[in-house]
Amino acid sequence: MNAARQNRLNTFAAHGALILYVLIALFPVFVIVINSFKDRRSIFREPLALPNSESFSLIGYETVLKQGDFFLYFQNSMIVTVGSLFFILLFGAMAAFALAEYRFKGNTLIGLYLALGIMIPIRIGTVAILEMMVQTGLVNTLWALILVYTAQGLPLAVFILSEFMRQVSDDLKNAGRIDGLSEYRIFFVLVLPLVRPAMATVAVFNMIPIWNDLWFPLILAPAEEVKTLTLGSQVFIGQFVTDWNAVLSALSLAILPVMALYVVFSRQLIRGITSGAVK
Amino acid sequence: MTEKPRFRWHIVVFLAPAVLVYTAVMIYPLFNTLRLSLFTEVDQARVYVGLQNFKTLFGDTVWSTQFWNALGNNFWFFIVHMLVQNPIGIALAAILSHPKLRFAAFYRSAIFIPTILSFVIVGFAWKLILSPIWGIAPGMLDAVGLKSLYAPWLGKEEYALTTLSLVSVWQFVGIPMMLIYAALLSIPDEILEAAEVEGITGLSAFWKIKLPLILPSIGIISILTFVANFNAFDLIYAAQGALAGPDFSTDILGTFMYRTFFGFQLQLGDPHMGSTIASAMFAIILIGVCLYLFGIQSRMRRYQF
């Protein structure tokens, strides 16, 4: 009896704590989004009220879509993110396969060399990266960003993917070899499809930091036509500080695509982080 | 019979793209930046000056005050994360990992949402919410009768850095939560059941059994927090600008390096001093990582299940 009551009390406390924290986590997002749909007066008079027929207004969104080139920024962010992910996955998987599959001199050394980058942030080398991009004429192109993010993502990708490649059965690969498949075909046709879940994990891990990065777009590609969404909203909001409708709408528009991606990939992401913990 | 094994070109082909991109865009610039810190520019020509830049950074009062200010702020930034973010993350994970908890997936996803938002969104959103003009924060404090506690936190030198650290904690609490959650799930049921038979349940099971078992994960989280904090930049830049106001009270190494490299107001950008600061950051991060690898990780007991 007593134990049961104690138990119920514990459950109650657990839900209470979690609900409280969920409120803390979501409150700012909620406030920004609801106020972006209100007119200026209501934003200040009743910031916590939901928009109603009287206070509803899309004036902020109109300003944003008229002034800022958000479709272009969005497109740039998409190209950079998808392009970087493509190269991280392709190059990362190839290197991981070589390290996991073949025994050769220097295998461990190359593995360690690639793993160095997991702990050392690429930002430390920014001064020389900018100099190099200026010399090669890549500054203010999306390629500069794609290259940097690929280099940044590769170490962890190789590390995670080679763990998974080791688990692919040798029999399968040897059967392929007996059938006369080349090593390239064994990799692309037999092994890659088997490590797809691991590739998805790597992709989801890299996607969010690349999409949200402000440092490299600011330094390597600040020109108007190559601005990413993150940098674009930063600059836009900086210019419109006093236009609260526009700022709130710009923030909501920046939240939207990330939330959409999160809803699609959240299961994959959480499974990725907690992988290895499946009982 | 004694034919030499053919050179396996495919290994080179598989490794080359990753090694080349990584070397050219990450490792080479890293060392080049360290090298650039030994040069300076005189009449538009690069001149080797040895450790002169480091002498300026640590010896010249204007530079050294800024450097120590940024480093001190950066340590405070890190300490707040260690004292607030990681304990909250562990507590949330401990509650979430309770086997009979309902809606765990919902809580998990919801608490992780701030982590996926960009610094720009987080910085501005909190700036607006804490702003005295809008009045959400004072209004809410008023509702619980604590209006006297309100101050324009981001605008006051003594509060701004702590406030921004807490905003960053709010954003990233999801990461320690997830990693600890994973570690807690991997503890075998048998161990917990054995403890239950001995009468160790609830909180005491957490302190006596689960916590020692997840210590390695806490170590990893600490070093990840350290590296992330000592190369942080975006949140401060988004919320306070490159000058890290008010009066440099929120200046950390990332913003200091950015300002030095690109220049601000009347000061011209200086890539060589920028490299010098980057080298100092590299040294700090390296020391931290080595302390972790040799001082903590190697001494930690690991349990194999």
Q: What is the C-alpha separation between A210 and A86, in angstroms, rounded?
A: 13
pLDDT digits (tens, 9 = 90+) for B24-41: 999 999 999 999 999 998
Give mean pLDDT, residues B125-137: 84
Q: What domains appear along chain A, each with residue ranges and CATH number?
A: 3-57 (no CATH), 69-270 (1.10.3720.10)
- pTM value is 0.89
Give the pLDDT of residue B253: 95
Supply B296's token pair.
Answer: 């903590």
Distance from CA of A193 to the nearest CA of B (A): 17
pLDDT at B154 over 70: yes
| CATH superfamily entry for domain B52-299 | MetI-like (1.10.3720.10)
Q: Is A241 touching B (CB cutoff 8 A)?
A: no
Task: Using the predicted structure, report yes or no on whether residue B1 has a pLDDT greater than 70.
Answer: no
Residue numbers of A between 148 and 177 with CB closer than 8 Å to B:
148, 150-152, 154-155, 158
The pLDDT profile of chain A, 279 residues, written as one tens digit per residue, is 466 777 788 888 889 999 999 999 999 899 888 888 988 888 888 888 888 888 888 888 888 888 878 889 989 999 999 999 999 999 999 999 999 999 998 999 999 999 888 888 999 999 999 999 999 999 999 999 999 999 999 999 999 899 889 888 899 999 999 999 999 999 999 999 988 888 888 888 888 889 999 999 999 999 999 999 999 988 888 888 778 888 888 888 888 888 888 888 777 777 776 664 333
Contact between residue B53 and residue A143 where contact means Cβ atoms under 8 Å apart: no
Best mutation site among B27, B85, B115, B118 for testing chain A: the one with the most A CBs within 10 Å? B118
Q: CA B162, CA B169: separation in Å to the nearest integer?
A: 10
DSSP state of B267: E
**Weakest mean pLDDT among A101-110, A264-273, B235-244, B278-287:** A264-273
| pLDDT in the model for residue B136 | 81
- What is residue B242's DSSP assignment? T
Q: Roughly what angle, to the nearest 10 degrees, separates helices A70-101 and A244-273?
A: 20
Instruction: Calculate the dihedral angle through the C-alpha atoms of B154, A228, B285, B21, rounding to the nearest 10 degrees.
Output: 180
Residue of B nearest to A92 (CA): B18
Bridge partners for B48 per DSSP: B39
Q: How confident is the model over A81-101, as pLDDT tens digits?
A: 999 999 999 999 999 999 999
State yes or no: pLDDT of B305 exceeds 80: no
Alpha helices by DSSP H, listed for B23-83, are: 28-36, 52-59, 61-80
Are the beta carbons of B15 and A94 closer than 8 angstroms?
yes
Q: Which of A264-278, B117-131, B182-196 has the lowest mean pLDDT?
A: A264-278
Supply the ipTM of this predicted assembly: 0.88
More confident residue, B74 or A55: B74
**A266 contacts on B by Cβ (under 8 Å):** 109, 112
User: What is residue B15's predicted lDDT score, i.e. its pLDDT?
Assistant: 96
A118 close to B (CB below 8 A)? no
From A205's Cα to the closest Cα of chain B, the distance in A is: 11
Note the pLDDT tens digit of each residue in B166-178: 999 999 999 899 8
